[in-house]
Structure 1
Amino acid sequence: MRLNDLFEKYLYDIDLTHQDTTIDSIKYRYNSHIKDSFGEMELEQITYIKIKKFQKMLLDGKYKNNDNKKYSISYINILVKLLKRLMKYAILMNYVNFNIEESRGLETIRDIVNKDNFISKQIIWNLSEFNNFISCVDDEIYRILFNILYFCGLRKGEILSLRWDNIDLIESTITIDSSASKVVGRGQIVKAPKTKNSYRTIYIHETLKKELLNYYISEKT
């Protein structure tokens, strides 16, 4: 069996357990970065040594992104993990018969460590900086959206899927139970959050609550 054939079987098996956006990402990474190098190979030919060489070539910049730059170490790790996952899936499903040495060899493929990396400080606006920014926002809906983003810490997809049903102006809370994202061929969709921790209830301060109430009233009248 070729890796391309295995990949189709893998996609079929994960269809019910993965979000559409996740599957789109897996397809893109495979078709853009793995298919050309390994797609037509028989599974028995894809040894852990060849995967390590592929990892090294990515690191050395043999393969470049659309801007003709080397891929980041974090992205290289993602690509190699996908290739490893496919080979482990092949072993699990008995599509390939590797000996013990080859199977254990897959476990020796580890994430690359960026030795030159340094800890960078996350840029966070203080309240004064945010107030300077928000004072320049004239559109009421955008002003409310930016306030929710800043004071409640929502992700972009979460705020794009926000409904009035999620906002309790009596209890002063916002409940997060969905996220919006784009899916190839379908456009923007609203889906459940990826993890249980993404489901949460956030308390909002009095000023933001009044802004939301005033906007709600203006929309309903």
Structure 2
Amino acid sequence: MASFQKYTTKKDGTMWLYKYYTGEINPVTGKKKPSTKRGFKTKAEAKLDAAQTEKEVADGTFIKQDKTITFEEVYEQWYETNSPTFKPPTRKAVRSKFKSQILPHFGNVKINDITRSYCQEVINKIAKKIKSVENMKMYANQVFEFAVLMDISKSNPMKGVIIPKKESDHLAEGKKMRNYWEKHEIKKFLGITKQACSYRDHLMFHLLIYTGARKGEVLALRWNDIDFRENIINFDKTLFFDKKTFTPLTSKTPASRRVLSLDDTTLALLKKHRTEQSRGIVQPIGPNDDRMVFTREDGTPIRLAYPNDKLNEIIRSNNLHKITVHGLRHTHASLLFEAGASIKEVQERLGHSDIKMTMNIYTHVTKAVKEKTADRFEKFMEFDPPITGSEVVTSDQE
């Protein structure tokens, strides 16, 4: 049974507390350890809470909440438990998201003092600043769920919190900027890179456009990823940079690990680059050549931001339609669709694990594809020529 008593504080005056037993045993004395719960304005409030506590203890559902542990301390436990399953880029991104967006609001707050209304207030604030508020809510929610799982908290205050809609969500979308190039724009761009760029950079952009690979996949390539006899290239890793160190990592999903056929032009460019790179070096052709395809003059990998910087420089200098490096991947997909490839074929070539990603690109395909689709529909809907009188068959003639 719980015991009740008054106590006095300077801030709140007379208050009530109760002492109860959870069944824990003091390892030194061998006696049951008492626990205390404070902060009740009346004895009736204390009795009501004590009855609930005793019921939970009897049912085996009682969780003794730690009133001192902060959200950040629980986050560190969660991160230590889960981060070994993350790849280095994910670990880096998660740390950054918590540091910049989540911990400033929750970090120093006692986790069992955090209410649902406070969570809603925080999400409302974050939603006004960034677009990826759903992502932030998801990560904060994982920490609260971890606290419940570890018996640190009774419940997750993030449950039921709503992502507020922005005013723009209710408006019809304006015309989106085209993040891909048409066929004539690609020819012009590659003509410029051939004349104005180094051979390495021309090949890098050619490969991005002709394979649709991600920039990290292209920059991680080694010569033994290319089979010049079978005319194929193997994409199974990506380049990651952290703390001044370049690390090749396995591709994120099984779908990303793929082998693609190469056209004759791309093969010829690669062979020429390998010959230039091999001058003065005796190096076997085949699986033993693990040198990187794209490097700086000192042999170190190219930094991941370089393709972005170089592309922006070329676009600006030549007044080209502005796209991103990722837009070169969309360009490849658009041209595949224009050439008649199916959505499934494009999905496999780009290494999409979810066909929705491919479908999203398909909805923004080139003008030529849309015109072909319209032409096919028009031809399908063409009516047969009218039947002349001589072709009419009556029932008597049958």
Normalised to the residue count of structure 2, the TM-score between the two structures is: 0.48
Confirm whether residue 79 of structure 1 aligns to residue 136 of structure 2: yes
Aligned partner of 1:38 among 106, 109, 117: 106
Q: Tell me the CA shift for residue 89 of structure 1.
A: 1.5
**Deviation string, structure 1 residues 183-221 (Cα, Å, up to 9, x no partner):** 2x3433221112121111111111111111122223224
Q: Tell me the CA shift for residue 34 of structure 1.
A: 1.7
Summarize the alignment of residues 34-183 of structure 1 with structure 2, pairs less than 5 Å apart.
34-59=102-127, 61=128, 70-71=129-130, 73=131, 75-98=132-155, 103=156, 106-113=158-165, 115=169, 116=171, 118=173, 120=176, 122-137=178-193, 138-183=197-242
Unaligned runs of 5+ in 2: 1-68, 280-398
Kept in 1: contact 2:124–2:163 (CA 8 A): no
Q: Tell me the CA shift for residue 96 of structure 1.
A: 1.3
**Deviation string, structure 1 residues 104-141 (Cα, Å, up to 9, x no partner):** x6442355555147373642112221111111123111
Helix, strand or coil: the match of 2:148?
A: helix
Q: Give the aligned partner of residue 65 of structure 1.
A: none
Q: Tell me the CA shift for residue 14 of structure 1.
A: 1.8
Q: Decide which moves more: 123-132 or 112-121.
A: 112-121
Kept in 2: contact 1:181–1:189 (CA 8 A): yes
Q: Distance in 2 between matches of 1:186 and 1:8?
A: 25
Q: Tell me the CA shift for residue 9 of structure 1.
A: 0.9
Helix, strand or coil: the match of 2:260?
A: strand
Which has the higher relative contact order, 1 or 2, with Cα contacts under 8 A spaced 6 or more apart?
A: 1
Q: Tell me the CA shift for residue 172 of structure 1.
A: 1.4
**Deviation string, structure 1 residues 137-186 (Cα, Å, up to 9, x no partner):** 23111111111100101111111111111111121111111111222x34
Count matched residues: 204
Please tell me the root mean square deviation across aligned C-alpha atoms, in Å: 2.0
Unaligned runs of 5+ in 1: 62-69
Determine which structure has the larger helix proportion and give its number: 1
Would the alpha carbon gap of residues 154 and 14 (structure 1) be closer, same or farther in structure 2, given more than 3 Å must change?
same
Q: Distance in 1 between matches of 2:114 and 2:161?
A: 13
Whichever residue aligns with residue 97 of structure 2, its letter is R
Identical pairs, percent: 19
Would the alpha carbon gap of residues 147 and 6 (structure 1) be closer, same or farther in structure 2, given more than 3 Å must change?
same
Q: Which has the larger radius of gyration?
A: 2
